[in-house]
Amino acid sequence: MCLAIPGQVVEITAADDGLALVDIAGVRRSTNVSLVDGPGQGVQPGDWVLVHVGFAMSVIDEHEAAATLRLLQDMGEEFELEMAEIRDSVDA
């Protein structure tokens, strides 16, 4: 649960509710982006965010996203577990 995983915003699904579809390492999940929203700083499709328990915590650049993802993939099993949890949460 402690992981923050980079994801790319696919589309804003419900702007009023702060919800977006985010592609998290290949799994598309509804993600709350309201913490990184605000006047003049809302996320757009294509932006990269760090996702923690279904919420975007911060906006990052593509380079940082790639580096963080590599670090997580290196972790092996725990990252796999977290991704499995995300996948299950989408299928549920």
Helices (H) and strands (E) in the chain, counts: 2, 5
Measure the N-to-C terminal CA separation of the chain; round to a whole number of Å.
18
Alpha-helical regions (H) of the chain: 62-75, 77-91
Among 8, 9, 32, 43, which residue interacts with other proteins (rule: CB under 8 A)?
Answer: 32
Q: Is 53 in the site for other proteins (CB under 8 A)?
A: yes
Give CA 22 to chain center in angstroms.
6
Q: How far apart are CA 22 and CA 76, in angstroms?
A: 22
**Please, what is the minimum distance in Å from the beta carbon of residue 11 to other proteins?**
18
Beta-carbon neighbour count of residue 54 at 10 Å?
Answer: 14
Toward other proteins, which CB reaches closer, 12 or 68?
68
Should residue 73 be labelled a site residue for other proteins when binding is judged by CB under 8 A? no
13 is a site residue for other proteins (CB under 8 A) = no
Interface with other proteins (CB under 8 A) = 1-2, 4, 17-18, 30, 32, 34-38, 50, 52-55, 57-58, 60-61, 64, 67-68, 70-71, 74-75, 78, 81-82, 85-86, 88-89, 92
